[in-house]
Amino acid sequence: MRYNLALPLLATSAIAVPYGPFTSILTSPVEAESSSLPVGRTPLSRVDMVELGRLALAVNSAYCPTERKLQPHPSSGLTIQERKRKRHDYNARTQEGSSIIRSSEDGEYTGVNNQEGMKWYISHTPSTDTLTLAFSSLKSTDDLLELLASSPTNPDETLISLPSTLFPPNQLANLTGSSGSRSQPKVHHSYRSALFSQGEPALQAILELIDTPPLTMLTPADVLKSYIASFRAPEAGVSSRPIKKIDIVGHGLGSAIGLLVALSLQLELSNPSLPAPSSSPIAISATLFGLPRVGDKAFAQLIDALTQASTSSTPAHSSLRVHRVTSYADTVAHLPERHLGLSHPSRGEIWIGADPRIGYICVPEQQGRESDACSASIALERTSLLDHNGPFAGVWIQPQVCSSY
């Protein structure tokens, strides 16, 4: 039986402690290699489930109007307890100081044609030098289903090439080592409008913030540290530090646009013509809730290749991690259907099973195809639209409850 109450985060007693081996991939500095995990399902660690709930809350805030938006990194008794119980490096850094610095509701973006009704925002967390970009989906799941089922005017354009303005073909070839004989990746036509109206402005805002990081107030400890280090009087009460991490989160259509933005950002930051950053490479992490199928097999293989390359070597500019999170029998994860030539990436699937207190990382039987042990184990006719909104580690992603946390 699945829960149908909106909870901000699961209570301590509500997060099940998995039996047997479990893994941490969301909160580990280096993502666990799929090859080191057994085929099938491996339970996520308790701390990963807490992180999953935090990211789901960040997505939920994207639905809210500006005056009701929540901090994307809410503190909770459970999170604090985890910090005390396990002193992970990840949990040792507090994340309470985040603030929203850009939004689709800002004046410079409100004039953009937004037929989809999507929203997005960018927050900055100085304590971890992190930017969080969150995309909402459409106003209702019915609207999303209608969009995914739509047909283009030209039947031959059901799948379209990636726009060259956001995905330069030469950079795609450089990253993947692809040759002219390999099929070029294509995506479903239904994402094109939202990509240009919402994804591109959000991407440009992220790039601007990377070039010019937000100023942050210095704490007394920061001022004292600066003074001692330089043996001179502190110069100012504000400073900016290079961005180290970019979290991209989305729900429904927002997760599809989030995946495309993450790919475009990786291409931009990995451009070999750019000088290597003076600081450490930027870590791009995309956590995508209720992700529909976005592209064809070549697109899925491209995402797999980029995420695998990021974990098998030390990148000079940026690294990319992608996790698609499906709540049990979510119908949207099965759409658009496979007969259209669409496929999910085979790496990074997180599945919330029949017991919503436990999440699993899923490893397919064969690389390059979706795992049959998780979301794909449920036939389309047995899926449920109710599961599209969660729960994700106890959090329901619903616009109508955006002010209840």
Q: Is-contact 130 246, C-beta < 8 A? A: yes
Looking up residue 263, the CATH number of its domain turns out to be 3.40.50.1820
User: By C-alpha distance, which of 146, 155, 153 is closest to 117?
Assistant: 146
Question: CB 257: neighbour CB atoms within 10 A?
Answer: 30
Specify if 281 maps to a domain: yes
Dig out the tokens for 89 from the structure. Answer: 């490096």
Give residue-wise pLDDT tens across range 57-80.
999 999 988 776 766 655 444 443
In a domain, 2, yes or no: no
* pTM, to two decimals: 0.84
What token pair was written down for 351?
């599945």
Which residues are bridge partners to 330 per DSSP? 384
Give 17-45 pLDDT, tens digit per residue: 555 567 888 887 655 555 578 889 999 99
Q: Which helix (H) or strand (E) holds 285?
A: strand 282-289
Q: Where are the alpha helices (DSSP H) in 149-252?
A: 169-176, 192-194, 200-211, 220-230
pLDDT category of residue 6 using cuts at 50, 70 and 90: very low
Q: How confident is the model at residue 97 (pLDDT cuts 50, 70, 90)?
A: confident
The string of pLDDT tens digits covering residues 140-166 is 999 999 999 999 989 889 999 999 999
- Note the pLDDT of residue 176: 56
In a domain, 243, yes or no: yes
Question: What local confidence, expressed as pLDDT, does residue 90 receive?
Answer: 42
In a domain, 164, yes or no: yes
Could you tell me which residues are beta bridge partners of residue 286?
A: 248, 322
38-47, 190-199, 214-223, 297-306: range with lowest mean pLDDT: 214-223
- Structure confidence by residue, pLDDT tens digits, 227-264: 565 555 555 555 568 999 999 999 999 999 999 999 99
Q: How far apart are CA 326 and CA 392, in angstroms?
A: 8
CA distance 61 to 63: 5
> Is residue 221 one of the residues assigned to a domain?
yes
Place of tokens 């060259």: 164
Q: Evaluate whether 27 touches 48 at the Cβ level (below 8 Å).
A: yes
Which residues in 306-343 are b (16+ Cβ under 10 Å) and which e? bbbbbbeeebebbbbbbbbbbbbbbbbbbbbeeeebbb
**Which two structure tokens, joined as six digits, stand for 207?**
């790039």
Report whether 141 contacts 160 (CB < 8 A): no
167-194 pLDDT per residue, tens: 998 887 776 555 444 688 999 999 999 9
> What is the C-alpha to C-alpha distance for residues 22 and 28, in angstroms, rounded to an integer?
13
pLDDT reported for residue 19: 58
Number of domains forming the structure of the chain: 1
What CA–CA distance (Å, rounded) separates 239 from 334?
46
pLDDT at 239: 59
Whether residue 313 is contained in a domain is answered as: yes
CA distances from 37 to 18, 65, 106 (A): 16, 42, 44
Distances (CA, A) of 242 to 197, 237, 282, 312: 28, 17, 9, 24
At 241, list the tokens: 């530090």
43 φ, ψ (degrees, to nearest 5): -60, 145
User: Which one has a higher pLDDT value, 305 or 88?
Assistant: 305
108 assigned to some structural domain: yes
**Looking at the predicted structure, is the pLDDT value of residue 94 above 50?**
no
pLDDT at 299: 95
Beta-strand relationship, 295-296 and 342-343: antiparallel
Q: For residue 295, give its domain range.
A: 12-401
The percentage of residues in the chain with a pLDDT greater than 70, rounded to a whole number, is: 71
| pLDDT attached to residue 254 | 98
In a domain, 3, yes or no: no
Q: If you ran DSSP here, which 8-state letter would residue 235 be given?
A: -
Strands 245-251 and 130-135: parallel
What do you get for the CA distance between the two ends of the chain, in Å?
24
Within a 10 A sphere around the Cβ of 16, how many other Cβ atoms?
15
Instruction: Give tens-digit pLDDT for 321-340.
Output: 999 999 999 999 999 998 89
Which of the four pLDDT bands, split at 50, 70 and 90, describes residue 86?
Answer: very low
